[in-house]
Structure 1
Amino acid sequence: MAKVRDILEVKGYAVYSVEPTVTVYHAIERMCEKNIGGLVIVENGKMVGIFTERDYARKLILKGKSSKDTLIRELMTENVVTVTPETTIEECMWLMSDKKFRHLPVVNEYDDLVGVISISDVVRNIINEQKSIIQHLEHYITGAQ
């Protein structure tokens, strides 16, 4: 089965982040600008949390707060589950399904942030892997070279 590194090699290693002192409004602007559903929160070069559209909906809107007056640190998820480049896609699917989240920061053996994968990346990888298997089987069955 494929691993997280396979996704990152195709997708790239870009990580979009903000500091915990920015407003929610600023973070949402950044997410809109990059067309993404979550941002890693970084302070002094280290990941301290993650902020997603789900955090926005559940922790800001439903509590009647203002995005222009609320800092990300008030809403971010602090205990972030991470994976490594060697984590299998199957393990990522299980984590995402079990914990009910759509973004997984990727860290190396030194706990440095090296990427982020989303549920869309995982699904895309699985679809491409299945297409490849089907093509291989079709060639095998038909004897095509």
Structure 2
Amino acid sequence: MRARAATLGDLEDVFRDLSRRMTEEYVAAGKDSKIAYDNLMMNLKEGRAHALVQGDKTVAIVAWHENSDAADTLFAAQEDFFRAATVRFCRRHIRHIQALAGNLPIHSRSWLRGADVARWFHVIGYVETGQENGATVFELRPAA
């Protein structure tokens, strides 16, 4: 797996075959895929979105935006993204995003419940910091 700057085509490819769990996440957040697409598009236009590519296929888009005290992530993926090897790649890549965001803490949210969701974030290096608007907030603390 590798990452590169995301393009409009990458975003369209991911949303053409969006995983069911991502659709469920958006619904649980009170949004739909169109709103998620628009939010990711805004970050893409501002140069803050990466395509995660496996072979020649874009399987996910991760975007971020900085606030005063942290960088928040946005995410969309196809089912092919959700594999064990992906976690190892994401552990390294989220630190790269953190460096691009000025070594701020990274905040990611999940509206889905389940041990597999929390485990995935913990393996990457996040710690659970609480709830916000029905979502569990995970934080990746700044690199030392």
Please tell me the TM-score bracket, short chain as reference: under 0.3
**TM-score, length of structure 1 as denominator length:** 0.24
- If asked which structure has higher relative contact order (CA below 8 Å, sep 6+), I would say 1
The structure that has the greater radius of gyration is 1
Higher share of residues assigned strand:
2
